[in-house]
Amino acid sequence: MIAHHQTGRSAGNPTWTHLGRCLVVLLLLCACDWIEAKPHTIGFSQSDTSESDWRRANTKSFRDAAKVLGIDLVFKDAGGKTEMQRRQVQELIDQKVDAIVLSANEISGWDSVLLNAKKAKIPVILSDRTIALRPENQGKSLFVTWIGSDFRYEGRVAAAWLAQETAGRCNIVEIQGPTGAAPSIDRGQGFRDVIDLFPGMKVIASQRGNWRTDQAKDLMKVLLRNEGANICAVFAHNDNMAIGAVQAIEDSKHLGLKPGKDILIIGVDGVKRGFEHLVDKRINALVECNPLLGRIVLKVATEVLGGRSFPPVMFMEDRVFTVHNALSALPSRKY
Where along the sequence are the contacts to ligand GYE (CB under 6 A)? 51-52, 54-55, 128-129, 183, 211, 238, 268-269, 289
CB of 148 to ligand GYE, least distance (A): 7
- Cβ-based nearer residue to ligand GYE, 122 or 300: 300
Q: Tell me how far, at minimum, the Cβ of 245 lies from ligand GYE, in Å.
A: 14
Judged by beta carbon, residue 106 or residue 128, the one nearer ligand GYE is: 128
**Cα dihedral sign, 219-225-227-233:** positive
Minimum distance of ligand GYE from residue 117's CB (angstroms): 21
d(CA 119, CA 281) in angstroms, rounded, equals 53
Least distance (Å) from ligand GYE to the CB of residue 167?
Answer: 28
DSSP string, 159-194: HHHHHHHTTT-EEEEEEE--TT-HHHHHHHHHHHHH
- Residue 217 CB, nearest distance to ligand GYE (Å)? 16
Q: Mapping DSSP to helix (H, G, I), strand (E, B) and coil, where does residue 202 land?
A: strand
Q: 1 by DSSP, 3-state: which?
A: coil
Please state the closest distance from residue 261 (CB atom) to ligand GYE, in A.
25
DSSP E strand boundaries for 47-93: 72-77
Of residues 117 and 241, the one with the C-beta less far from ligand GYE: 241
**How far is Cα 332 from Cα 328, in angstroms, rounded to an integer?**
8
Closest to ligand GYE by CB, 55 or 86: 55
In angstroms, give the least distance from the CB of 314 to ligand GYE: 15
Closest to ligand GYE by CB, 40 or 156: 156
CA 277 to chain centre: 22
Q: How many residues does the chain have?
A: 335
Helix H or strand E encompassing 153: helix 151-165
CA distances from 26 to 17, 22, 129, 202, 205 (A): 14, 6, 47, 74, 72
What distance in Å separates the CA atoms of residue 65 and residue 293, rounded to the nearest whole number? Answer: 9
Strands 285-288 and 320-322: antiparallel
What letter does residue 263 receive in the DSSP assignment?
B
Whether 103 and 47 have beta carbons less than 8 Å apart is answered as yes
Closest to ligand GYE by CB, 287 vs 300, is 287
Question: Which one, 74 or 151, has the nearer CB to ligand GYE?
Answer: 151
Asked if residues 251 and 197 have their Cβ atoms less than 8 Å apart, the reply is: no
**Residue nearer to ligand GYE on the CB measure, 89 or 93:** 89
Nearest 5°: CA angle at 168, between 164 and 169? 130
Nearest approach, Cβ of 211 to ligand GYE (angstroms)? 4
